[in-house]
Structure 1
Amino acid sequence: MSDVCKGKSSWPELQGARGEAAVKRIEKENPYVDAVIVPEGSSVTEDFRCDRVRVWVDKHGIVIGVPHIG
């Protein structure tokens, strides 16, 4: 699905990084997306959007998964 989206679509290198730093880097590397921090365990919609990257973080603010468009 991300083949239709503009720019970089995933950031595996950010797993384990601080959430705030990850958001800044994602938005710098792909100006077409808004990155948002989502605390682990939160409920979210399941719709796919090319302009969104969810950055899942643990209780310490550390990225726990690979951020990607969706």
Structure 2
Amino acid sequence: MKSSWPELVGKRGEEAKDIIDRENTKVKAEIISEDAIVLAVVVCERVYVRVNDCGIVTQTPFVG
């Protein structure tokens, strides 16, 4: 099962979210700001898709 998506950096956040949800049905992708502060709690069913002000993915999304 896929757990990281480096190829999505540079894509639109919504497109990245759809790809993640399609490629790994056990996780839920969430779009958040690239500078959002989140708790350092590993959640095996979550993928944060960090985007800039233009909605472009800036960091590799990964499970956790």
Fold shared, TM-score > 0.5 on shorter chain: yes
Using the TM superposition, give the Cα deviation of residue 34 of structure 1 relative to its aligned residue in structure 2, in angstroms.
0.2
Selected match of 1:13 from 7, 25, 34? 7
Counterpart Cα distance in 2 of 1:41 and 1:14: 18
Could you say which residue in structure 1 is the equivalent of 2:37?
A: 43
* Aligned-residue offset at 1:14: 0.3
- C-alpha root-mean-square deviation of aligned residues, in Å? 0.6
Larger Rg, first or second structure (1 or 2):
1
Structure 2 residue matching 1:9: 3-state secondary structure:
coil
The normalised TM-score by structure 2 is 0.96
Amino acid at match of 2:57: V
Aligned length: 64
CA distance in 2: counterparts of 1:54 and 1:24, whole angstroms:
13
Query: Which consecutive unaligned segments of at least 5 residues does structure 1 have?
Result: 1-6
Tell me the SS of whatever aligns to 1:41: coil
Which of 50, 58, 62 aligns to 1:56? It is 50
The residue aligned with 1:26 is: 20
Q: What are the Cα deviations for residues 11-59 of structure 1, in whole angstroms up to 9, with x where unaligned?
A: 0110000000000000000000000001121111110111000000000
Gaps of 5+ in 2: none
Q: What is the aligned-residue identity percentage?
A: 47
